[in-house]
């Protein structure tokens, strides 16, 4: 099987994956943490913690295997990604080693299908643009060594993460067949079909592309396919831009409310924390909620910085009203 057919990308929850093994982005003590790790421990049940606690921890860049317990997956492979400290602390080779070691351990245990989350790009702060390229490059290199592994699926948690992975994958996979390339681009637009149909009314185009793809290949069909796919692609880019704009507006509103609260608090030191604190918490939860967080993941670096500034203001307020 060609390598690109063995590597898939999807958006979703890794704990639900029906594969031989799922990878946990773990902490060095293999404790139940937050993020994807917390979700895996939750779904696997208490026996998982009992099993990991007998392993004596795990070094950064290494991997250890346990059973999957209540998960669909037979195994969980725990790997510890590097905490990002600016890029000069060997983060890239440690991250590369995570993917390599997971696939080695998987192969040793007869695993034929495996799902990875995006290691280190959550709490550990590795920038998604670089981390996704490292993830794909190291996985592609290992797949050559382990032909028995016939499926590696990256399960991404936001449309923004998915886009980084799919853009890099396009560049990495050497595929000269334009028909296959267009099919791949079209498949990647799938998570956004709902938006495309609703906002840009592209249902005719979507239907026509599906018909062409399931029909016979001819130069005329290829030409039509090319033009339809690029129309859909631009419509999709427009929608993403629009979502970003909405997210920025949302953020600006919240920042102004928070700044006012902060001013008030400074002006009237007597203002009761019991009154302010629930407000701050409400806003914090709203900004951190999944939809907003995933919108921000699609934004440019500038806007991400704005997001971080806003979070700083909120943390500040949180600390002052506690």
Size of the site for ligand ADP (CB under 6 A): 20
Handedness of CA 119, 121, 124, 127 (dihedral sign): positive
| Residue closer to ligand ADP, measured from CB, 78 or 254 | 78
Structure tokens at 31: 């404790």
Q: According to the binding rule CB under 6 A, does residue 82 interact with ligand ADP?
A: no
Residue 207's φ and ψ, nearest 5 degrees, are -65, -40
| Residue closer to ligand ADP, measured from CB, 25 or 236 | 25
How far apart are alpha carbons 244 and 256 in whole angstroms?
A: 18
Q: Is 21 helix (H, G, I), strand (E, B) or coil?
A: strand
Q: Which of 7, 19, 23, 36 binds ligand ADP (CB under 6 A)?
A: 36
Scan residues 92-131 and list those touching ligand ADP (CB under 6 A): 117-124
Q: Which of 7, 81, 165, 209 binds ligand ADP (CB under 6 A)?
A: 81
Shortest separation between residue 284's beta carbon and ligand ADP, angstroms: 17
Shortest separation between residue 309's beta carbon and ligand ADP, angstroms: 21
Structure tokens at 27: 């902490």
CA 65-140-24 angle, to 5 degrees, is 25
Shortest separation between residue 170's beta carbon and ligand ADP, angstroms: 20
Shortest separation between residue 201's beta carbon and ligand ADP, angstroms: 31
How far apart are alpha carbons 69 and 72 in whole angstroms?
A: 8
Shortest separation between residue 27's beta carbon and ligand ADP, angstroms: 7
How far apart are alpha carbons 120 and 89 in whole angstroms?
A: 14
How far apart are alpha carbons 282 and 135 in whole angstroms?
A: 35
| Residue closer to ligand ADP, measured from CB, 66 or 121 | 121
Q: According to the binding rule CB under 6 A, does residue 296 interact with ligand ADP?
A: no
| Residue closer to ligand ADP, measured from CB, 159 or 213 | 159
Contact (CB, 8 A) for 157 and 11: yes
Scan residues 241-260 and list those touching ligand ADP (CB under 6 A): none
Region from 9-17, 188-196, 249-257, 264-272 binding ligand ADP, contact rule CB under 6 A: 9-17
Contact (CB, 8 A) for 119 and 79: yes
Shortest separation between residue 117's beta carbon and ligand ADP, angstroms: 4
| Residue closer to ligand ADP, measured from CB, 157 or 186 | 157
**Contact code string over 148-187 relative to ligand ADP, x by CB under 6 A:** -------x-x---x--------------------------
How far apart are alpha carbons 264 and 282 in whole angstroms?
A: 18
Q: According to the binding rule CB under 6 A, does residue 79 interact with ligand ADP?
A: no
| Residue closer to ligand ADP, measured from CB, 27 or 236 | 27
229 CB-near residues (< 8 Å, 6+ apart)? 182, 185, 186, 209
Q: Which of 23, 39, 240, 262 binds ligand ADP (CB under 6 A)?
A: 39
Please list the residues that pair with 22 across neighbouring strands. 76, 115
How far apart are alpha carbons 82 and 126 in whole angstroms?
A: 8
Residue 167's φ and ψ, nearest 5 degrees, are -65, -45
**Look-up: residue for tokens 């427009």?**
238
Shortest separation between residue 275's beta carbon and ligand ADP, angstroms: 33
Structure tokens at 217: 């290949």
User: Footprint of ligand ADP on this chain (CB under 6 A)?
Assistant: 13-15, 25, 35-37, 39, 81, 117-124, 155, 157, 161
């Amino acid at each position: 099987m060609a390598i690109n057919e063995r590597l898939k990308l999807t958006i979703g929850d890794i704990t639900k994956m029906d594969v031989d093994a799922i990878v946990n982005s773990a902490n060095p003590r293999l404790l139940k943490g937050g993020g994807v790790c917390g979700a895996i421990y939750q779904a696997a049940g208490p026996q998982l913690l009992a099993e990991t606690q007998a392993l004596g921890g795990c070094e950064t860049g290494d991997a250890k295997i346990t059973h999957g317990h209540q998960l669909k997956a037979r195994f969980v492979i725990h790997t510890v990604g590097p905490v990002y400290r600016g890029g000069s602390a060997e983060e890239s080779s440690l991250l590369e080693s995570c993917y390599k070691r997971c696939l080695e351990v998987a192969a040793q245990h007869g695993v034929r299908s495996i799902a990875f989350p995006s290691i280190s790009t959550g709490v550990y702060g590795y920038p998604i643009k670089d981390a996704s390229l490292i993830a794909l490059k190291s996985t592609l290199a290992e797949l050559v060594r382990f032909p028995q592994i016939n499926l590696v699926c990256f399960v991404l948690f936001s449309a923004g993460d998915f886009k980084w992975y799919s853009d890099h994958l396009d560049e990495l996979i050497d595929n000269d067949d334009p028909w296959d390339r267009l099919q791949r681009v079209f498949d990647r637009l799938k998570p956004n079909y709902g938006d495309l149909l609703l906002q840009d009314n592209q249902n005719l185009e979507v239907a026509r592309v599906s018909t062409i793809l399931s029909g016979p290949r001819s130069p005329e069909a290829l030409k039509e396919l090319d033009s339809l796919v690029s129309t859909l692609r631009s419509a999709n880019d427009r929608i993403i831009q629009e979502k970003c704009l909405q997210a920025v507006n949302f953020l600006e509103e919240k920042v102004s409310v928070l700044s006012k609260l902060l001013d008030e608090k400074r002006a009237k030191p007597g203002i009761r924390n019991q009154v302010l604190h629930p407000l701050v918490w409400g806003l914090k939860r709203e900004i951190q909620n999944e939809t907003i967080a995933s919108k921000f993941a699609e934004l440019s670096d500038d806007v991400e910085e704005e997001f971080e500034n806003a979070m700083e203001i909120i943390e500040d307020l949180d600390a002052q009203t506690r």
